[in-house]
Amino acid sequence: MPRDRPVPDPFEPEWLERSLDRYLTWGLVFMAILIVGFPIYRFREAGLREDALQEQTTTYTALGATLFDQNCASCHGDGGRGGGSAPTLAVSEFLGSTTDDQMHLLIAGGVSGTDMSAWSQEYGGSLTDEQVTQLVTYLRSLEEGAPSVPDWRQGEPAPAGN
């Protein structure tokens, strides 16, 4: 008959093992919450981003309209509708063929050989880059329903009513 060997005392006390089990259990619970929570957050985030973009566009359009009235309307006419020597901006020819980046560069850096000076502080003007972006957003808001004016570069006024 084999002899029973003495059992050594446990390496860790039982209370310490229970404590470790408790921490591991809570860790798994929190991990499960994160695994479930992230997809829910991601699903909800898309709508929040869309709402924020819409709100920013609305705000930038209003601020851009004010900036346009203060700085641009004297040459380009009220609402960019022309009537002077500067190009008419609220027309389908300009808005349909010019990207936002191109508009930004035209406003920021000006146009050599014309009365269109640089408006960005980076080029010696008075507007910040954010304000130039607000002007671009305002001009882009005029695109829907913009009339066709073939002589828009000469400042031909846009027809009333649009």
What is the percent of the chain with per-residue pLDDT over 90, rounded to a whole number? 69
Structure confidence by residue, pLDDT tens digits, 9-55: 767 777 777 888 899 999 999 999 999 999 998 888 888 899 999 99
pTM over 0.85: no
Provide the 3-class DSSP secondary structure of residue 15: helix
CATH homologous superfamily for 62-154?
A: Cytochrome c-like domain (1.10.760.10)
- Coil, strand, or helix at residue 127? strand
Report domain extents, the chain: 62-154
- CA-nearest of 81, 73, 55, 40 to 137 is 55
